[in-house]
Amino acid sequence: MKKYEGPWTDTQLKHLLRRTLFGVTLADHRFFLGKSMDECLDILLDTSTNAIPPVYYDDQRTETIKEYQWDHHSERFVKFTAVLISCFMPMMHQPRNIGERMVLFWHNHFVTRYQTTESGVYTMQYFQLLRKFVTGNFKQLLREITTNVQMLLFLDGNKNNKNAPNENYARELQELFSLGKGPGSRYTEADVHAAARVLTGWVVDHEYFTARFDASIHDTTDKTFSSFYHDHVISGKEGPDGQTETDELIEMICRQPEVSKFMCRKLYRWFVNSNIDARVEEQIISPLAKLFVASGYEVQPVLRALLSSDFFYNPDLIGGIIKSPIDFMIALIREFDLKNDPADIEPTGPMKVPFWAAYMAGKMDQEIGSPPTVAGWPAYYEYPLYDKEWLTSGIFGQAAWIDRVTSLDRSDPEQTIHLDLISFVRSLAHPADAVQWLAETADLLYALPPGAEPMKYLQKLADTSHSYPGSWSEVWTRYIAATDNEALATEIKKRLRDIFQHLLTYPEYKIR
Amino acid sequence: MNRRTFLKKTSATLPFIWGLPSFAISHASFFENISLQGPYQDRVLVLIQLEGGNDTLNTIIPLHQYPVLQRVRKNIIIPENKILLPKATVGFGFHPSMAGLQRLYDDKLLSIVHGVGYPDPDFSHFKGTDIKITANIAKGEGSDHCLSGWVGRYVESQYEGYPTGFPKKTGDGPPAVRIGNVSPKITSGNTVDLGIGFNDLSDFESLAPDFPDSPAFRTLGGQHVTDITSVVKRVKHYIPGITSAVGRQKNLSKLYPERKKNLLADRLKLVASLIGGDLRSQIYIVNQTGYDTHGDQVLRTDTTKGLHADLLRDLSEAIVAFQDDLRLMGKLDNVLGMTFSEFGRRIVSNESCGTDHGTVEAVFMFGTRLQKSFVGDLPALPEMPTVNDNMVYHTDFRAVYASVLKGWFGLPEEKIKTILPTAPPERLDLFRS
């Protein structure tokens, strides 16, 4: 694969950041400015110091979660809180690397749903496992997720036994988690049955929150696979050795080169573009897949190759992904530093912003912790729409959210989540010059430059007075000289509301 | 106020922000913008997607096969004395949760198409769903590449030139409406999605203000910008029609369950007021999720209870309330309902009181113009089914779709062939004229 050797300007840098982080903040931009592509990638791909949120067990768990939750009576909410703590909030507070986007990638790949399990513990364990592997070894993750408690409960692995095999996990293991259903994947129905028999014996020990192998319900007969697996036989084993059959199954599956292709296609769709044509298959997927196999299924080298490829920086692809609801929410939270909103402290506790943001993303069909199907969110697998799926689902929710966070109505404090737009504008280089600061904002927030007409419209809003006359420049300058002047502050706030209601609604803010 | 009261508050406040319509609705012709003629022009089709693959054998229980079922699905079978029997002897009975549908059946307002499937069935939820919504069963290389849904292709043939020039006037409905998380693929035609999808009316509460368009870039991102702009515009065009239709027609039935107790009922309730309020949409699609009952399909202690029983009760109650509502609105004769699911489930149950993916489904149709209540044959079961055995289909699902297009919408065969090119030639005699 050809490495990118073209100019390294703001365009390429922001493209890389938009694809690996959630949105680009002013601080992110300043941090990476002046670094080369390789230096940026060194930082973005190093997830070694990322914090791993703990799993709160039993009483300890209950107490800790209660501090975060509003409604102490809803078990479902406790579980959702677990999702927020172990997935959504870490995304909001993400370090400057690819880790959180990869957690979401694995969540969409190794799908489980938090509603399936009995407690938040399993949800937290599940996210902890994903987070442990972010850019690590795929084969090991595949093995570990196979006997992860949340997964055993979600796809009925715990109900699969020698008397009546339950095929649910065995099927998805091949169809969705490793081989896919592409032209090169030719496992058979008989392989699904055989794999189910290999996997018999895993149960959940709810007392210790762990998976356990129960040899007495394991199928100890030999399992013969189809010619796709070269007629491989996994010989049946008695006693605790039976669990080594699971290891052998994962090894056998990962010996199929199709696994590397399937996973590289998925990574490509996640980071680059949904449409994979013959040229992409040959020029990108094939070499990446070879690299993946050669590295023993290490993900990081594949990501580095992909994100430093000439192809990745093709100008035609910039802005070519429609933001998912979670993309949209997390990016907005980070760009406007909503996580530090003073309104987020009392009376409802630190969960207010994450709760409402995750709730709204759910209303837009991307509920964190709960993809709608075991294949993940349709936007990542459904040909030919792919990310265009979000077009329809996101329209209403995004508008409602923008309306809410820009509103000046503070009558209901529990409802109030608002962007501190004054601070945002103050942090820009030329806040007194509307033409300049609007251009700087668009440059930061948009993956593509908007047209002259929309920008003129925003400039007009900046100069449109509510009750205090004057151009933006005049009013802003006076306000800065007297920030405690109520009338001036209100005027500024109203103009900013008008501007950002439009600015954040433009289609350019919906792509990345 | 906590989260719950907020939810209640927002749902109670209907967003009539566009106000009620000031124009007079002409009832002379319901669908004046489409090409349906004569007796067919006011007709509406409501599809209910049962997501996950419904266990047909515990829904519509074949009585002559009962001994076989007793052997191979011992842990989930409904006790014989709990099966609801229709008045006429028909060789099958209903799951005990479906008293409402059984009554509709007795009143000849429900018909069941038995043994619906297709050759070489697929056991994947996603491929299975794709097959049912695209009506394309091709597999193997390139098979994922059917771009459009059968509903989309049908309405596309009725709304020539869409979206250019549509809606023809304020208040007109979109060609198709999706409520709930129904894939837009089903309403996608060859070039564009002809459906509008939303969860409930609160979705419309705060829509984007209008703004000037950006110039079109010829890059992928530029294309997205153009697409986003046009989708938003299209949706906005239809919102006044949707909200004012609901404003015109309140729900009249008292049979609906409490809000949020039965999501399907909530969705059908919205559909009823859209139909009652004369939104000019021809097809509505709603969904009910949860049919993927690999485990705990029934309670170990009582097989008439559990996940599946709850789903079927919700389905039954939702349909009964919906039909009652339409009747009170005077719209019952105009509406045909039909269910579909990606597949049925395995004959033999598993140890976890559940069933794995299978093949054949039973399709429910409801309305007043049904010809007969029993269509197709009850599927035959092997004498001694093994875990890998599946039912064999009698009726191709594409023939069912084709028969609906022909019998319900009066579509001529040559048009049906373009919409369902691979449908087998037989047509079911489903409707009274």
> Would you say the C-alpha torsion A444, A447, A449, A455 has a positive or negative sign?
negative
Residues in chain B: 433
C-alpha closest to that of B31 among B175, B151, B186, B218: B175
Give the minimum alpha-carbon distance from A112 to chain B in angstroms, rounded to a whole number. 14
For residue range A104-131, list pLDDT tens digits in order. Answer: 999 999 999 887 775 678 888 999 999 9
Q: Which of A389-403, B22-36, B106-120 has the lowest mean pLDDT?
A: B22-36
How many residue pairs bridge chain A and chain B with CB atoms within 8 Å of each other? 184
The predicted pLDDT at position B415 comes to 95
Dist. CA B232–CA B156, nearest whole Å: 20
Give the minimum alpha-carbon distance from A392 to chain B in angstroms, rounded to a whole number. 7
Q: What is B41-107 written as a DSSP string?
A: TT-EEEEEEETT---HHHHEEEGGGHHHHHHHSTTTPPPGGGSBPPSS--SEEE-GGGHHHHHHHHT
- C-alpha dist (Å) from residue A189 to A171, A186, B72, B121, B347: 9, 10, 20, 11, 16
Q: Give, in degrees to the nearest 5, the angle at Cα B392 between B391 and B397.
A: 110
> Would you say the C-alpha torsion B12, B16, B22, B26 has a positive or negative sign?
negative
Q: Give, in degrees to the nearest 5, the angle at Cα B275 between B273 and B276.
A: 60
Q: Using 50, 70 and 90 to split pLDDT, how confident is the model at B168?
A: confident
Rg for chain A (alpha carbons), in Å? 25
| Token couple for B395 | 């009726």
User: Please, what is the average pLDDT of chain A?
Assistant: 90
**What are the extents of the domains in chain A?**
137-247, 325-510
The predicted pLDDT at position A416 comes to 73
**What is the DSSP pairing of strand B361-366 with strand B110-117?**
antiparallel
Residues of B within 8 A of A507 (CB-CB) are 214, 224-225, 228-229, 232
Closest B-chain CA to A356: B3
Q: Using 50, 70 and 90 to split pLDDT, how confident is the model at A486?
A: very high
Closest B-chain CA to A153: B295
Contact A451 B188 (CB under 8 A): no
The predicted pLDDT at position A115 comes to 73
| Token couple for A391 | 């077009």
The predicted pLDDT at position B9 comes to 30
Share of chain A above pLDDT 90, in %: 71
Give the minimum alpha-carbon distance from B341 to chain A in angstroms, rounded to a whole number. 15
The predicted pLDDT at position B35 comes to 58
| pTM, rounded to two decimals | 0.78
Contact B214 A451 (CB under 8 A): yes
The predicted pLDDT at position A349 comes to 52
Dist. CA A129–CA B262, nearest whole Å: 35
Q: Using 50, 70 and 90 to split pLDDT, how confident is the model at B139?
A: low
Among A11, A312, A373, A395, the strongest candidate for a mutation testing the B interface, having the largest count of B CBs within 10 A, is: A395
Contact B204 A374 (CB under 8 A): no
Residues of B within 8 A of A163 (CB-CB) are 351
Contact A454 B213 (CB under 8 A): yes
Dist. CA A90–CA A104, nearest whole Å: 11
Dist. CA B174–CA B190, nearest whole Å: 17
Q: What is the mean pLDDT of residues B80-89?
A: 94
Identify the top-confidence range among A121-125, A181-185, A471-475. A471-475
Q: How far is CA A437 from the centre of its chain?
A: 30
Q: Which residue has the tokens 């419904």?
A: B54
- C-alpha dist (Å) from residue A233 to A221, A227, A236: 10, 11, 9
Residues of B within 8 A of A189 (CB-CB) are 123, 388
Dist. CA B412–CA A348, nearest whole Å: 62
**What is the DSSP pairing of strand B195-198 with strand A210-213?**
unpaired
- C-alpha dist (Å) from residue B101 to B45, B253, B317, B373: 18, 16, 8, 12
Dist. CA A165–CA B387, nearest whole Å: 9
Q: Give, in degrees to the nearest 5, the angle at Cα A104 between A259 and A348.
A: 160
Contact A451 B212 (CB under 8 A): yes
User: Please, what is the average pLDDT of chain B?
Assistant: 86
ipTM attached to this prediction: 0.86
Q: Give, in degrees to the nearest 5, the angle at Cα B396 between B392 and B401.
A: 150
- The full set of domains in chain B, from first to last, is 45-419 (3.40.720)
Dist. CA B55–CA B366, nearest whole Å: 20
B116, amino acid identity: V
Q: Which of A320-329, A343-352, B209-218, B357-366 has the lowest mean pLDDT?
A: A343-352
Q: Which of A259-273, B136-150, B370-384 has the lowest mean pLDDT?
A: B136-150
Contact A374 B207 (CB under 8 A): no
Contact A395 B356 (CB under 8 A): no
Give the minimum alpha-carbon distance from A48 to chain B in angstroms, rounded to a whole number. 33
The predicted pLDDT at position B126 comes to 76
Residue B189's SS3 state is coil
**Residue A356: how many CB atoms within 10 A of its CB?**
20
Dist. CA A365–CA B184, nearest whole Å: 13
The residues with which B50 forms a beta bridge, in sequence order, are B288, B341
Residue in A159, A193, A396 nearest the CB of B295: A159
Whether residue B239 contacts residue B290, with contact meaning beta carbons closer than 8 Å, is answered with: no
Contact A175 B231 (CB under 8 A): no
pLDDT of B333 > 90? The answer is yes
